[in-house]
Structure 1
Amino acid sequence: MDENASEEDLPDLVPVGAWPSLGEAQEHALVVLAMNRECWIFPAAGQYAVLAPPAEVPVIHREFALYESEQSERQVRVEPPVFPAGIELALVWALSLLVVFWWQGQDLSVVDRFCNSSKALVEGGEWWRAFTSLFLHADAGHLLSNIGIGGIFCVMVAHTVGAWRGWALILGGGMLGNLVNAWARYPNDFASIGASTATFAAVGVLTGVATLRAWRLHSLRELRPLMVPLLTGLIVLGWYGSGGEGPDAARTDVAGHVAGWTGGFLLGAAVQKFERTKSTAAV
């Protein structure tokens, strides 16, 4: 790019664009130079034109179109809102788990009546067990790990999509995971309890929302907010979600965790897609 050359010293050139300021012309000339092509800038009718050999015009125009599209997306992009943490709902959830755990100690039949059960669900049509089992726990350690670790993810979901909607997605994803897990285990006599399916559904919601945002904006940068929940989820899975070895390995429901994550991912992506459709219609 030579801004001081005269038109007589140059080969046959044609304009590929003109801009009102020299800065804008130079910006587009840099786009051409990044393509390893030559170009020149000349004043023309009160504007600054970028000139190039005729054979380069089609490919330069395509590159300009892509560049303008990227710039437009950056200008109109609206940062996703950050909602309140919904601590009140998280406390209600924790209190509910504690109350149900106390009830389990008072009535030993509670687990059999409300656990997730493949035969009861398929043969008896007791689909509600997929929901009620999320409130049951095997022991105090199981309960406290789900309140502590699960609470972190649930607050993150509330920050991302709102507290009420977030909890609906978490419980819905957990219930969906339990339904799929029980149906897949049938005709085996399978039963499961615990809020960990909902915990992994929360991780799935975060993943689904971030993935769809990145897809919509064609930018992997949108996946950066996903790194913390995703890496933490992998750590949690390694701690108590993947089975492994030890006395608790046999009772760890890995399939339920994967099903909960998948259910949360699908619901999170669907909500993000709906938000995009609604905002587009409003415009």
Structure 2
Amino acid sequence: MRITHDHALVREWELVLVSQGLAPHVGESMDGFVLSVRADEAAAARAALAAYDEENLRAARERVTPPEPMSLFSGIILGELLLLFFFITSLKTPAFPWLQRGSADAERILNGELWRVVTALTLHADIAHVLGNAAAAAIFFSAVCSILGAGLGSVALLFAGAIGNYLNALMYGSHGSAHISVGASTAVFGAVGMLGVLGMSTRRRTTMVARRRWLSVAAAVALLAMLGTAGQRTDLFAHLFGFAAGVVMAALVVITRLKAPGELTQLSCGAAALAVIACCWYLALA
């Protein structure tokens, strides 16, 4: 039925057929190892081996190469942009009421000022606040980009942060509580959540054992616990919602088997992310 010089391979074929309730026989000939079955089992054996071959081919297509050493380039650019925008918004002028018009004010968000879920990600309370988020972005955003690419990673990070801010506003608004927040940390924790899921998926497809796959999730949760609850002014729920949004977005990437797109698509995604931020600020200041 099948012939090969690979003894391990013929044993794999044999096990496949045995698992289907068939009775294969492995013999030797001048041409190699011979796998054979009874004539009445030939059709079932061919179908079982064809399915086995197809599964192996699918696994080979899905197998990912180990990620390249993480470059800080994308994250450093994002960190520099956060710092630059902080210094711009620090120049308080009546014509540009940045904090008043761009902060994540829960009541105003729920009253229709949805641009705030995006603009708040670009604002920071003080130099320590922005430096912390810029440093975190250099690490976690770069890690996400090493898997999804800079353009798609930018879109994912922006959406995770925006969704996290909206859910945070919804939570406070449902209790009738006034709440105002600023900062990129919601998006940063979205990146942490994404890394937990994407890291687990990458390890699974590189045939690491199941117990190690969950280390990525455990590490992400540990980071959330250590970084997301520190400090008196920490917006814990914004961090939690950003983290959860990142987990869901990464799960969608895994479920849809989305791969990092090509350069043109990456550029388009990056441009789209910048355009969304620009449009939101236009609405905020109009």
TM-score (normalizing by structure 2):
0.67
Greater relative contact order (CA < 8 Å, ≥ 6 in sequence): 2
Which residue of structure 2 lines up, in the alignment, with residue 153 of structure 1?
A: 140
Match of 2:121 among 125, 130, 134: 134
State how 1:53-132 maps to structure 2 within 5 Å. 68=53, 71-80=56-65, 82=67, 87=72, 89-107=74-92, 110-123=98-111, 125-132=112-119
Verify: 1:19 aligned to 2:8, yes or no. no
Q: How does 1:29-40 map to 2 (within 5 A)?
A: 29=14
Question: What are the superposed Cα offsets for residues 24-54 of structure 1, whole Å, 9 maximum, x if unpaired?
Answer: 434444678999x99753358977555789x
User: Partner residue of 1:3?
Assistant: none
Work out the CA distance in 2 between the residues paired with 1:106 and 1:76. 53
| Structure 1 equivalent of residue 277 of structure 2 | none
Alignment counterpart, residue 244 of structure 2, candidates 262, 269, 272: 262
Q: Does 1:204 align with 2:193?
A: yes
Q: 1:225 to 1:144 in 2, by over 3 A?
A: farther
- Whole-angstrom distance in 1 between the partners of 2:6 and 2:98: 76
State the 1:160 CA deviation. 0.7
Asked if the contact 1:84/1:163 (under 8 Å) is kept, the reply is no
Structure 1 residues 68 and 214: CA distance shift in structure 2, 3 A: farther
The counterpart of 1:190, out of the listed 165, 179, 202, is: 179
Preserved CA contact (<8 Å) 2:27 2:34: yes
TM-superposition CA deviations, 1:56-109 (whole Å, max 9, x none) = 99x999986776555444544442585796755434422332233334543295
- Work out which of the two has the higher radius of gyration on C-alpha atoms and give 1 or 2: 1
Partner of 1:275: 258
**Corresponding position of 2:282:** none
Structure 1 residues 78-87 or 90-99, which shifts more? 78-87
Q: Which moved more, 1:42-51 or 1:264-273?
A: 42-51
Structure 1 length-normalised TM: 0.67
- In the superposition, relative to structure 1, how do residues 167 and 25 fare at CA in structure 2: closer, same or farther (>3 Å)? closer
* SS of 1:19 mapped into structure 2: strand
Partner Cα separation in structure 1 for residue 45 and residue 215 of structure 2: 37
Unmatched 5+ stretches in structure 2: 262-286
Give percent identity, aligned residues only. Answer: 24
Distance, in Å, in 1 between the alignment partners of 2:91 and 2:11 is 77
What displacement does 1:154 show? 0.5
* Aligned-pair Cα RMSD in Å: 4.4
Match of 1:172 among 159, 170, 187: 159
Number of matched pairs: 255
SS of the aligned residue for 1:275 comes to coil
1:233 and 1:46 mapped to 2: Cα distance? 53
